[in-house]
Amino acid sequence: MPSHFVSSKELHGKEIAPGVMMKPLPGRNLMLSYLEFSPGSMVPTHSHPHEQGGTVIEGRLEMWIGDERKILQPGEMYMIAGGVPHGGRPVDGPAIVLDAFYPLREEYLKP
């Protein structure tokens, strides 16, 4: 039986934007995504049909969701309905974020 526990250091990463490394951990219906933002990087404004929520683990992250914009600190969370335009960038250094998606982002699971 496979382990139910994994370290983010063990996950295979995929660069989803210049300087933004995403490490997915898929379940049957829900996907966690560990994101490492390098200083000066950005996930440009985009949208997708998946519901997405997350929290900042380290650093500060400026996020825009629809018409709202906020700089998030560690421990602050967000929720994005499917189809709503959003993006983000780290502020004053690197940032680490944990996202959750429903349903799975199948395109992130392909090599």
Q: Classify residue 24: in a domain, yes or no.
A: yes
Cα 103 to Cα 48: distance, rounded to the nearest angstrom? 11
Mean pLDDT of 43-71: 98
Contact at 8 Å (CB) between 33 and 20?
no
Q: Count of domains in the chain?
A: 1
Q: Strand, helix or coil at 109? A: helix
Question: In the numeric block, which tokens belong to residue 59?
Answer: 């650093």
The parent domain of residue 26 ranges over: 14-51+59-102
d(CA 77, CA 107): 24
Residue 89 burial by CB count (10 A; 0-12/13-18/19+): exposed, middle or buried? buried
pLDDT band at 21 (very low <50, low <70, confident <90, very high): very high
Q: Classify residue 67: in a domain, yes or no.
A: yes
pLDDT for the residue 2: 63
Span 79-87, average pLDDT: 98
pTM over 0.75: yes
Whether 1 maps to a domain, the answer reads no
How high is the pLDDT of residue 7?
Answer: 95
- Say which CATH number the domain at 80 has: 2.60.120.10
- With respect to residue 6, please indicate whether it lies within any of the assigned structural domains: no
